[in-house]
A and B are shown apart, each in its own frame.
Chain A
């Protein structure tokens, strides 16, 4: 079976740093994506990890540990517009993405 776990909801303050965790147990692993989804909109790509370690992209960073089945998305200098759902997704086979149920992040002033 495929199991991808994320916290349901998180809150943080503008300007702060927040870390969204994702743990996975899947039948295959060919990489991990993070997507952002604003309410009523389509998911948009944030980051991709296939090797262990940290990938940094501006205010957003993503970390992967394949041996632990663990990833996190780090958001720095939070802005109000970062209020959204963040989806962790694992490539389990040839192009087949399995998504977690997402973490809803609320950024307050």
Chain B
């Protein structure tokens, strides 16, 4: 089975530009999570969805960040406008709904904002 698929793997763009990160969860998983990882702050949960519905977006840093999950097999995380401090690795993860099921992570998108 394919794992969680993220695209692009790397993104370099100038500040002020819109950035869209994409994620395809593992088929059959009904929960999807977006994380950001930096050296200073480690792995932080931004938002998560259950059955395509956003459950908790308290980790979204500010209004410049938005996430959608239009169907069970696709999600996007958008940053508009982007800033240099948004530079990080963004991971998407998916799991079954029960709490004891581990989250499976995609390979991440390494984002650099110049």
Q: Nearest Cβ in chain A — how far from B88, in angstroms?
A: 14
Identify which of A44, A48, A102 contacts B105 (C-beta below 8 A): A44
Knowing A43-B105, A45-B104 are in contact, say whether A102-B91 is a contact too (CB < 8 A). no
The yes or no answer to A18 lying at the interface (CB within 8 A) is no
A42, B108: Cβ atoms closer than 8 Å: yes
User: Does B45 touch A at the CB level, under 8 Å?
Assistant: yes
A residues at B contact (CB < 8 Å):
30-31, 33, 41-45, 48, 50, 87, 89, 91, 93-102
Q: Which residues in B have some Cβ–Cβ distance to A below 8 Å?
A: 31, 33, 41-45, 48, 50, 55-56, 91, 95, 97, 99-100, 102-108
What are 25 A-B interface contacts by the 8 Å CB criterion? A31-B99, A31-B100, A41-B107, A42-B105, A42-B107, A43-B43, A43-B91, A43-B105, A45-B102, A45-B103, A48-B100, A89-B43, A91-B99, A93-B56, A94-B99, A95-B31, A95-B95, A95-B99, A96-B56, A97-B45, A97-B103, A99-B44, A100-B42, A101-B41, A101-B42
